[in-house]
Amino acid sequence: MKATLDYRNKIILAPMVRVGTLPMRLLALSFGADIVYTEEIIDWKLLKSERRVNDVLNTIDYVDKSDGTIIFRTCDKEKGKVVLQLGTASAERALAVGKKVQGDVAAVDINMGCPKDFSIKGGMGVALLYDLERAKKILTTLVDNLDIPVTCKVRIMPELDDTLRTVKELESTGISAIGVHGRTKVERPRHPVHTDVIREVVQVLKIPVIANGGSQEMHKRSDILKFREACGASSVMVARAAQWNCSIFREEGPLPIEEIILQYLRLAIDYDNSPCNTKYCVQMILRDLQETTMGRKFLDSQTLEQICDVWDLAPYCRQKQLEYHNAGLQGRRQAAPQPDEQDENCPTKRQRLGNGDSEQDVVSHNVSFIRVNYSDDKELPKSKLYIYTVKNGLKLPKYESIHKDKLFRAIVLVGERRYSSSFWEKSKKYAEQSAALTCLLHLGVESREKLIANGAIIG
């Protein structure tokens, strides 16, 4: 039996690249959003990902096996309310993704409105509006074969008649609702939104229409409802206004920016959100405040703990990260380059480090560098190893790195021996720190007990 999702009389968090990840979606729901859309995710990213049940975070993760990146993460708190927006130009790939994720999302939405060159050149986004047969094939294939609702999000076209003809054709595929951004593919947020065109779309369709594009005039929940009324739409989808202040969904009125950031950061910590994505979302909230003293301190931050420290949440961040590490949250430790098919004697690239080095030539330990363990830069493994070599009259450490499939591994030469962690890292800096930590462990400068206790060694 097909699942249903009621798209009428709803206020919705719109799909926004890099913003619509789990912490922001949960924040929007907590403030009163009825439905939340993911950021657009390209079909091939999900197809090559692996679905994993994360018992530590109580989430479902779709993970890029090559580098450990979380492509999509969801949890029970948004079950029945999260819609996956998919970027695709292929009915076959779209269906494969839909089959893969339909147990974890409430619906699938096909992006037919993105005006970016990346999407258009790939035949995705707004390009689908000008390739209507392909667009209809994608939607029909999904509607006929998935157990969850299917929708699409479009932009209006320069001519009203073309817009109306296109949306009626899309409706004929059996989709459950349609999102309409009231600007053409060449118009940008500085251009006025065409509420009159959205109203015309509503008149010719029987399915719910979700109006989008009114963020410039939205400052509180009542403004969202005014926009819906102006468009005559069933529901409203809010993008940039929610990105700037997610509490716009609150019936009681919006909260101060400071409170928004604190609540967002707690969710980012609780769900182990990547520092890069967390920083981007906070930047979108701060906007002009990035030029303040606090803002500049924030911009200088790199790790999640450093970001949180700006808002006095560093102790909580450190506590949770160590708790997760000790509970066995492995994340990037599960990542390894893909097998080297050209070397039959090398089942995985872990076994050959580069320059002809094999594991037998290098002292290796299962040690991972965890940035949260080092509040003082002087205590970083590379700093400690530098001091060790100076005190013992040795040549300074010499590092070389190997870069494969978006991952890094480093080897450090100290004395006559070479050292490397067995784990692959997502950055050259972290790989070098891991190599230094391996060396310090082997030399007895760091104890195995301490590294087990702080999560650097698991198992």
Instruction: Just list the catalytic residues.
Output: 114
The shares of helix, strand and coil residues in the chain, as percent rounded to the nearest 5, are: 45, 20, 35
DSSP assigned state of 236:
E
DSSP assigned state of 39:
P
Rounded to a whole number of angstroms, the CA Rg of the chain reads 25
Give the side-chain half-sphere CA count within 13 A for 215.
Answer: 22
| Residue that has been written with the tokens 């909230």 in this structure | 285
In the sheet that 363-365 helps form, which strands lie side by side, from edge to edge?
363-365, 417-421, 407-414, 398-404
Q: In this structure, are residues 278 and 23 in contact, taking their beta carbons and an 8 Å threshold?
A: yes
Buried b (16+ CB within 10 A) or exposed e, 368-381: bbbbbbbeeeeebb
Q: What angle do CA 50, 126, 96 make, to 5 degrees?
A: 25
3-state secondary structure of 392: coil
3-state secondary structure of 147: coil
3-state secondary structure of 413: strand
Q: What is the DSSP string of 182-207?
A: SS-TT--TTSPP-HHHHHHHHHH-SS
The CA-atom distances, in angstroms, between 87 and each of 98, 199, 235 are 12, 26, 22
Of 183, 176, 216, whose CA–CA distance to 198 is shortest?
183
Give the side-chain half-sphere CA count within 13 A for 103.
Answer: 8
d(CA 211, CA 183): 11
Of 102, 144, 127, whose CA–CA distance to 5 is shortest?
102
The CA-atom distances, in angstroms, between 43 and each of 68, 85, 115 are 18, 10, 18
Strand 49-54 relative to strand 59-64, pairing: antiparallel
Tokens read off for 21: 């990840």
